[in-house]
Amino acid sequence: MGDEQFAGQDSAILAILKTTDEVNQLKDVDTILDKILYESRSFANADAGSIFLVEKDSLIFSFVQNETLFKGAGANAALYQNFGIPISEQSIVGYVAKTRKSLAIDDAYELDVTLPFAFNKSFDEKSGYRTTSMLTIPLIAQESRLVGVMQLINAKNDMGKVVPFSAEARSYIPLFCNNASVAIERGIMNRELILRMMQMAELRDPTETGAHVQRVGAFCAEIYGTWAARRGHSAKEIKRERDNLRLAAMLHDVGKVGIPDAILKKPGKLTDEEFDVIKMHTVFGARLFKNLTSELDHMSMEIALCHHEKWEGRGYPGKVQPDIWAEDVKMGEPINGLDIPLGARICAVADVYDALASPRSYKEPFADEKCLGILESDAGTHFDPEIVEIFIEIFDVIKAIRDKYKEQWGG
């Protein structure tokens, strides 16, 4: 919708249809939110915006863009802020969630005192940003389910001056949002399906939350974004690849479903024989995706198979013999360096970092310095050195992801 001219109704509706179609091709909920917010902001020429998703009786902050405060496609810790707002008339987003009607405000600092809600100035106070015009829209999916609320901030005119949202924006963006809400629900469902699969595969414990899997997916998405931006890849291409990588990375250990509990949950060191059994989780995972054809399946297969390969070789499973389907499949000749698929090189760093920083049945969590020390000393032997370098460069984002996906409420 962004690049087009809106001479009249028809072109606006065509643009909405085209954008809706693009949104429908995305799979992961974060990529879907990113796209919906970006397109809505482009339509209204809005400087900033955020999306809140409904969880129980709250609106959970789920996505943000701000052209003034954080430019470009780089890794961004602000995305992983962790807070909720009650669905009540006291806040603007809560009010819109309750009334289910979009609401345009020309100046957030000049609200009529008779209104039930107040503008929360704390974000502006912390950031130095000045919020003026706002367009807040309920996200409603089929059967009138409330999925969340989108808030667009500071519409600008051609001169870059902040102005009220236009009549066109007020009527067309809610239209687009109705379709977008369906895509958001689908994205949430995809994520939940993967979390359930992973719970079966490796946690086998109904009290576990899947936070580890969410963290590894998010770490990989951010590492990849920085890796690809360094190479000047287009924002569109980065988004598509990142969408696949995030989901595929969440599935890296799905093959653990084939490993007996007695080994997987052993409270202590494994014997060599037991570790040989564990190694098979790479092959079991690869089998799940091998005969499937989408880009996501292909990437999931590569990551499941290769996430324990090492940069200098000596990882596993190597070139398995005779092939992954054989009942007597054997680990093979090592692969190394750039022969290891990029997604697997990224996932190796993300997965080991999270294993180091988290408790396991066989170890205590390590402090950050110790984790980073291990990554740095193994850069160039275990890990692709550039991936470790990027990981350290974006460590503030990594920490924000850890704060967001803590064990208690990651799933």
Closer by beta carbon to ligand SIN, 162 or else 355: 355
Per rule CB under 6 A, count of chain residues that contact ligand SIN? 13
| Least distance in angstroms from the C-beta of 33 to ligand SIN | 23
Torsion angle, CA of 383/389/392/397, rounded to 10 degrees?
Answer: -100
| Least distance in angstroms from the C-beta of 308 to ligand C2E | 5
Rounded CA separation 154/140 (Å): 23
Closer by beta carbon to ligand SIN, 239 or else 308: 308
| Positions in 202-261 near ligand SIN (CB under 6 A) | 202, 208-212, 253
Q: Does 352 bind ligand C2E (CB under 6 A)?
A: yes
Alpha helices per DSSP H over 114-158: 122-127
| Least distance in angstroms from the C-beta of 309 to Fe ion | 11
**Which one among 374, 399, 407, 410 touches ligand C2E, defined by CB under 6 A?**
374
| Positions in 43-82 near ligand SIN (CB under 6 A) | none
Cα angle at 186 between 183 and 191, to 5 degrees? 130
CA 196 to chain centroid: 17
CA distances in angstroms from 157 to 47, 53, 103, listed in the order given: 11, 29, 20
| Least distance in angstroms from the C-beta of 355 to ligand C2E | 3
Q: Which does 362 bind (CB under 5 to 8 A by kind): ligand C2E, ligand SIN, Fe ion, none?
A: ligand C2E
**Which one among 74, 359, 373, 380 touches ligand SIN, defined by CB under 6 A?**
359
> Any residues with CB less than 8 A from the CB of 304 and at least 6 apart, and which?
251, 252, 253, 254, 255, 282, 285, 286, 288, 289
Rounded CA separation 392/387 (Å): 9
- Helix, strand, or coil (residue 356): helix
Closer by beta carbon to ligand SIN, 28 or else 202: 202
Rounded CA separation 79/75 (Å): 9
Binding mask 296-315 for ligand C2E (x = CB under 6 A): ------------x-------
| Least distance in angstroms from the C-beta of 299 to Fe ion | 16
Q: Does 351 bind Fe ion (CB under 5 A)?
A: yes
Place of tokens 């997987």: 264
| Positions in 233-292 near ligand C2E (CB under 6 A) | 266, 269-270, 278
Burial of 354 (0-12, 13-18, 19+ CB in 10 A): buried
HSE-CB of 274 using CA atoms within 13 angstroms: 12
| Positions in 193-212 near ligand SIN (CB under 6 A) | 202, 208-212
Q: Provide the residue count of the chain.
A: 411
**Which one among 243, 253, 309, 384 touches Fe ion, defined by CB under 5 A?**
253
| Least distance in angstroms from the C-beta of 303 to Fe ion | 10
Cα angle at 85 between 84 and 88, to 5 degrees? 150
- Active-site positions? 256
Q: Which does 208 bind (CB under 5 to 8 A by kind): ligand C2E, Fe ion, ligand SIN, none?
A: ligand SIN
Alpha helices per DSSP H over 90-166: 92-99, 122-127
* Binding window for ligand SIN (CB under 6 A); candidates: 53-61, 331-339, 354-362, 392-400: 354-362
| Least distance in angstroms from the C-beta of 402 to ligand SIN | 10
Q: Does 355 bind ligand SIN (CB under 6 A)?
A: yes
Q: Does 351 bind ligand SIN (CB under 6 A)?
A: yes
- Helix, strand, or coil (residue 149): strand
> Any residues with CB less than 8 A from the CB of 361 and at least 6 apart, and which?
265, 266, 267
Instruction: Name the site residues for Fe ion (rule: CB under 5 A).
Output: 253, 351
Instruction: Name the site residues for ligand C2E (rule: CB under 6 A).
Output: 266, 269-270, 278, 308, 351-352, 355-356, 360-363, 374
Instruction: Name the site residues for ligand SIN (rule: CB under 6 A).
Output: 202, 208-212, 253, 351, 355, 358-360, 407
